[in-house]
Structures are given as C-alpha cells and as structure tokens.
Amino acid sequence: MATISFRSLMLFSAVLRLFLIIYGEWQDIHMEVRYTDVDYFVFSDAASLVALGKSPYKRSTYRYSPLIAFLLIPNALIHRTWGKILFSVSDLLVGYFIRTILKLRGVPENLCTYSVMLWLLNPFTFTIGTRGNCEPIVCAMVLWIIICLMNGNLLHAAFWYGLVVHLRIYPIIYAFPIILTLDQSRFQSGKKPILTDWSSSKIQSTNGSGSIKVSDPCHIWVSLKSLFTRGRLLFGLISAAVFFFCTGFFFYLYAWEFLHEALLYHLTRTDPRHNFSIYFYHIYLHYEHEFALSEKLISFLPQVTVQLVLIWRFAQDLPFCFFLQTLAFVAFNKVITAQYFVWFFCLLPLVLPWTNMKLKWEGWACILFWIGAQSHWLMWGYLLEFNGKNVFMQLWMASLLFLAANTYVMVTFILRHTSSPVFKRLEHGHSNIPTKID
Amino acid sequence: MGIQQFKLQVSLRLGIALYFFASISCCKHASTINEVGSCTSNLDDSNPSSSALHGVNEFITEAYFEKHASLIDSDFQGFLSKEIPLEFCEVLQDKLEPVPKLSISHRHLIGEGSHRRLSSSIRLEIQPGSKFTLPAHFCDAIVVEILPSGVFADPFELQHLLQRGVFTGAAVFGDTNLELPSVRSNRSIVEIHMDIGPNVLSGNNNGLEINIEVPLHARYAPLGEHEFSRVEFSPPDLFTRCSFEGKSHKQSCIFLSTNKSLELKAGAVVWDVPCGIKEHTGIVSVVTFFSAIVSALLIVFTAFHYSDTTGCNNLKQM
C-alpha cells in the first residue's frame, strides 16, 4: 500500500471538513432535515445571549460551561459557522496530537499515519465537528494533557486538566491514573521523563501490567506517605485551583443557574427517554417514584468497581488506561448518547500500536460486533420514535447487547495488549521504600 | 520536534489569550450596541418560559399567563370569554359589522411516531351584506391550541418555521420543558398567527381556506397496562384580528370565530403514544442489574488474568 504523508492527510482532512461545513449550510437552508446538530443551535443561542450581556442559561437545554458560549460569540457577531470551524480545527488538532504522542514514543511513521487516519477519516468523527458538536475541543485538551505529561510539563498538564474537568466533568476519572503515573521513581518535576520506546516495549515487556503492588505489608504506612510527592501535590493543587476558579468565576456571573445546569445536572442526570444505556427502561419504569438508596448504589457499583480495577492495573500505561476507563465509563453510564463515543475514539489510535490483535479476524470481530449492536439498537429506536411502535422491551434488550459488545471490545483489548508504561524508571530513583512497581 | 512543540505551545497560549480578550471586549461592546439597535441574534427574545417568537405581534394567551401560574381549562375559557375585547371595533361601530368567521373544515394528525404535525384546514366566512367600504386593513387568523397532557411544541422549531415565513407569529405558553415525561410536566398552549391577506373584509374573500400545520412531539407517556396511551386533542379557539388604519392611529379588532359543536361532530383527533408496561418492571430491573454486574465481573476478571499471565510470560523469558 502506497504511504500517505501526514501533511497530505491533514490537508485532505481539512478540505473534507470545510466541504462538509459548506454542505451543511446548504442542507440546513434547502432541506427539511437539517445537517446541523440541534446542540449547535443551543450553543449559538446561548452565545447570542452572552453577546447581549445575558445569561446563556436563559436558553433552555444549555447545560455546558459558559466557556462554550463565550467561544461561540463570533457566531452572533461574525458568522454562524464560526463554531463549526472552531470544532473542526480542534478535530484536526486531535489528529496532530495523536501523531505527536506516537512520535514521542518512537512509533514508526507508517503506523503513526494509519493510527491518525483512524481518527481523521472516521465518518463518525468528521461529522461530529462539522455538525457543530463541541466534543473535539475536549478530546484535544485530553490529548494535550498527555503530551504535557510526556514532556515533563506538570504545571501545564495540571492547568489544562483543571480546565477540561470544568468544561466536561467526565475527565475527572483520569485523576487517579495521572496521580499514580507521577511516581517519583519515574516522574520528577523539572526533569523531562524518559519515555518507553515503542520498539523496546514490543520486544520485552518486563514492566508487566503497570500495576502497583506493595510487596511488604509492614511498609504500607511508608508507601502511603510516598503517595504525597511534590509532583502529585502540585498537580492536585493546581488543577483543583483552576477548576474552582472557573467554577467560582461563573458562579459569580450566573449564580445557581450555572451550578445547576452545568454541573449538578450532569451528576444527577437520569433520563427516562430511550438511549443506548441498559438503564433507560429501568429508569422509565421507575420514574413515577423515587429510587431507593440501595437501587442507586447497585447501579453505581459496577461502574466504580471497573474504574478502580482498571486504574489499579493499568495506570502506568496511561493512554491505555484512559482508553479503557473511558470506554467503561460510557458503557456503564446511566445515559449514553452517540457523542460520548468520541471520548474514547480519540484515545483508540494511541493504543493500537501496542495491540497484538490482528485485523483478521479479531479486529473485524470487534468492529462488526460493536457496529452491529449499535445498528441493531438504532433499528428498534427508529421503530419506537419514528414509527410509533411499542418496542420498549426489544429496545432495552438491544441495549443489553450493546453493553455486551462494549464488554467484548474491552476484554479483547486487554487480552491482546502489550503493556507499556509511558515512563521508564529513572536511573537514580528517589524512592527508598520496598515498593515493587511493575 | 521539541522546538516545534514549543512554538505550538506559545502560539496556542497567545491565541487563546487574545481570543478571550477579544471576546470579552466584543461582549461589552455588543451590550452597548443593543441599547440603540441589536446584534445579530438567533433569538428575538429568549425567554424560554413563555417562548414568544414573533415580529411585533401581541399574543392573546400571554395575558392569561401573566395572571395564572398554570393552565386550568375553566380559567382559560373564562379568560377568553371575558377578558379579550371581542367584536368591539371603533372603526366599524356605525357600520354593519362584517364579523368574519373562521371554522375548522378538516383536522388530523400527519406522520407517525413521536413527531407529528397537527394539520387544520380553516375556512374564512364573512357575513352577507358586509361588503362596504372600510379603511385599509390587514388580518391575521389566530389559532389557540390547548395541547393535551403528553404532547408539546418545541419553541425553537416554531422559530425555525417563523424564520422561513410559514407563520407570522408563533408562541408557546405554559410548560415548555422539552425533556420531561408526562408525569412530571404540565400542559401548554400554542398560539399561531397566519396572515390571511389584506382587506379581506372588503373584498371577495368569502370561502378562503388556510392550512396550518403545527409540529408536535409526544412526551413519554405514563406507564400503563396496555401498550399505548391515548391523547385527545380538543378543538382550537379561533380568532381573527384585523388592524385598521384609523384617522389618527391604528386600531386592532379581534373577532372570536369558533363553533365548537361543529368540531365535536367531526370527531376528536387522537394520538396513540407507546408507553411502558408496568408488568415489565420486575424483570427489567433484575436483568439490568444482573447484566451490569456480569459485565463488570468479566472486565475485572480479565484485568486480573492479564496481569497474572503477563507475569508468567516474563518468568518464561527469564
């Protein structure tokens, strides 16, 4: 297969996105079904309100940080496609960052290009930005945080992490793996960490799963103390400060409306309307009365358990840990909409160079099972929403199948993954506790 | 690569700082402009609880919700009959009143599923002997739909239709929350204004027919024993409002034109909305939690198994 240069790929991707933005404008004007995502109109309306000095939360269903509305003010002042252009540029930036991360770890050029193509030429991802969804901005920020950590820029990583958690709450799940990665034996502030090269990790996987074990129970206290290193404390303090500053600033501007719509709503959200989550029908059937505490806990336990185990096992292999965590977070969430898939799509290219999974036939099995389960759900969803058939039971069973597909993908990736902690152990480690780190 | 990344970092930071500075400046500048004109805006007036989307029309229903917190049928009918200045028109005081009448000739739901259009064919009739010289005037047909519980209109969708010129005015009053199911939401009223042309009271416009299609959406219905929950639409209240050029000022006259007994004869419009079945509650809850637990255990087991086998492989290599 002829190799494609990264520059050509970026150029083609940019032209494709520009074409789709222009086409989207044409379709919105000339056809009844609009190309533009309904969320984009929500952002634009909120931005118009901000431009007029009003609260963006006067726009119903605007449940984002005011930052998004601020970013889209030019929609009201210059042209309504400004936001789409911004999101598409972020989309391209994600492609650039994917390549940067892979190159930092010595991944060969052709493998880098194929990995980047998985993002840039994925029909799902290039329609997301051009239809006016803001997720590419979040994805770009997450990847930028990884780059900052890989370059030893702890302060930058902390700043952007605080900002991205303010923007979209879900990246809070990355807090623990980041903290665990900042192990003093591998990462020291002010020093550029040594990255595990792709070629060395493929030959020998002496670092194992990257899980953390304490070999001597008698030194648990010393181990706990070692958790509070300068780097970890700095990261925690700065990211928390940025998060609380942003939250405090917008609370000052917009008061409880902001707090409720942008933060609390997402923490307590239970949507009875049909979505990919296995919980939707259960929520609908119980919507007329409050959930018992035991019911809330039971639905929370699988999510928390999986997250903690994945962090504990894979924290040192940061991109892989992020990927699995995000996929699990989405799969076990009480509400799943299609835009959430972008959260782990942007991380998938980062783990592919380390997988032993062959496209034939394990790779195809994952792809077909996942797409098939999703299409199956969409079919029943269409019959319910657009044909008015009572297929709640069938739709719920389709969501169970989709969970099975997500589980299958996760299990396959874990079994076929070559563990590769991002950071190598430093030659003169500062750690003096008998903590065995694999 | 290191220098390129550094340059990218600096450019990004500079760009972001300049952008926000410019945005804040624009924001302040825009709010000043609004005092004398208006910025380009997608919304004329974004008060979502009343969601009035219009040029400069007044809405009959707006006055009701200024005094009442929620929709009660008897209160609303009382409001329509007593508080709207009907059929009093200074311009026409000393002449035979034309009293245009609007009536529904046909009414049905178009489409399937949760998103449909309520189509109403409205016929204009003017009383005989009313064709005499009147000042220039423009008339609107006003349709006030009291939506049943379980159905709502999207104000932003109506705005889109307004921008395309389908209506001359559109507003939703009452509960405009788009997301809540029926059990957690209240009813709402949609008021639509349609232009029926200039000088209709003077010309030969008897028998004029206009078609109105209002896009509606079904909420999630209350749970039931059967598969569907029935939603019934009552006939709308119809008004004609004409604006006359008076000697010194413009005057609007409103005429009520509904004969509800005729609409009842035509048969109520019904919408069968799929609903959840109570019988499913037990099995759905059990299987949902069981599936979540099994999936979680599979992932946890695989993660542990991966770690153990990797350790074994390392030993083999040594």
Contact yes or no for B299 and A54 at CB 8 A: no
CB < 8 Å to A282, chain B: 284-285, 288
Print pLDDT tens along chain A (438 aa): 456 789 999 999 999 999 999 999 999 988 877 899 988 999 999 999 999 999 999 888 899 999 999 999 999 899 999 999 999 999 999 999 999 999 999 999 989 999 999 999 999 999 999 999 999 999 999 999 999 999 999 999 999 999 999 999 999 999 999 999 998 888 877 778 888 888 876 654 444 444 544 444 445 566 666 778 888 999 999 999 999 999 999 999 998 889 888 888 877 777 788 999 999 999 999 888 777 777 777 788 999 999 999 999 999 999 999 999 999 999 999 999 999 999 999 999 999 999 999 888 899 999 999 999 999 999 999 999 999 999 999 999 999 999 999 999 999 999 999 988 888 887 654 444 444 333
* Spatial contact of A388 and B112, defined as CB atoms under 8 Å apart: yes
Identify the closest residue of chain B to A409 by CA–CA distance.
Answer: B299
What pLDDT, on the 0 to 100 scale, is given for residue B48? 36
Contact yes or no for A281 and B288 at CB 8 A: yes
Tell me the pTM: 0.84
What pLDDT, on the 0 to 100 scale, is given for residue A190? 74
Residue window 17-36, chain B: list those with CB within 8 Å of chain A: 19-20, 23, 26-27, 30-31, 34
Type of residue at A217: P
Identify the closest residue of chain A to B312 by CA–CA distance.
Answer: A208
Type of residue at B294: V
Contact yes or no for B30 and A384 at CB 8 A: no
Kindly list the distances between the CA atom of residue A219 and the CA atoms of A55, A215, A307, A433, B277, in Å, as whole numbers in the listed order: 54, 9, 26, 7, 57
Percent of chain B clearing pLDDT 70 (strictly above): 59
Q: How many CB atoms lie within 10 A of CB A1?
A: 5
What pLDDT, on the 0 to 100 scale, is given for residue B282? 92
What pLDDT, on the 0 to 100 scale, is given for residue B103? 79
Tell me if the bond preceding A380 is cis, omega within 30° of 0. no
Among B53-57, B121-125, B276-280, the range scoring the smallest mean pLDDT is B53-57
Of residues B23, B48, B275, nearest to A60 (C-beta):
B48
What SS3 state is found at A355?
strand
- Judged against a pLDDT cut of 50, whether residue B29 lies above it is answered with no
Whether B225 contacts chain A with CB within 8 A: no
**Residue among A38, A52, A97, A144 with most chain B CBs within 10 A, to mutate:** A52
CB < 8 Å to B11, chain A: none
DSSP conformation class of A422: S
Specify burial of residue A293 (Cβ count, 10 A radius: 0-12, 13-18, 19+): exposed
Q: What is the biggest distance separating any 2 CA atoms in chain A, rounded to whole angstroms?
A: 72
Contact yes or no for B299 and A390 at CB 8 A: no
Identify the closest residue of chain B to A329 by CA–CA distance.
Answer: B296
Kindly list the distances between the CA atom of residue B236 and the CA atoms of B166, B196, B258, in Å, as whole numbers in the listed order: 19, 18, 8
CB < 8 Å to B290, chain A: none
What pLDDT, on the 0 to 100 scale, is given for residue A209? 45
Contact yes or no for B317 and A391 at CB 8 A: no
What pLDDT, on the 0 to 100 scale, is given for residue A398? 97
Identify the closest residue of chain B to A325 by CA–CA distance.
Answer: B299
Higher pLDDT, A174 or B41: A174
CB < 8 Å to B183, chain A: 287-288
Per-residue pLDDT band at B247 (split at 50, 70, 90): low
Higher pLDDT, B163 or A367: A367
CB < 8 Å to A112, chain B: none
Q: How far is it, in rounded angstroms, from Cα B136 to Cα B70?
A: 39
* Spatial contact of A189 and A237, defined as CB atoms under 8 Å apart: no
What pLDDT, on the 0 to 100 scale, is given for residue B82? 72
Per-residue pLDDT band at B205 (split at 50, 70, 90): low
A and B: number of Cβ contacts within 8 A:
215
What pLDDT, on the 0 to 100 scale, is given for residue A141? 97
What pLDDT, on the 0 to 100 scale, is given for residue B250? 60
ipTM, interface predicted TM-score of the complex: 0.89
Contact yes or no for B178 and A298 at CB 8 A: no
What pLDDT, on the 0 to 100 scale, is given for residue B85? 57
Of residues B27, B181, B307, nearest to A53 (C-beta):
B27
Percent of chain B clearing pLDDT 90 (strictly above): 23
Q: State the average pLDDT for chain B.
A: 72
Whether B296 contacts chain A with CB within 8 A: yes
CB < 8 Å to B35, chain A: none
What pLDDT, on the 0 to 100 scale, is given for residue A207? 43
CB < 8 Å to B302, chain A: 410-411, 414-415
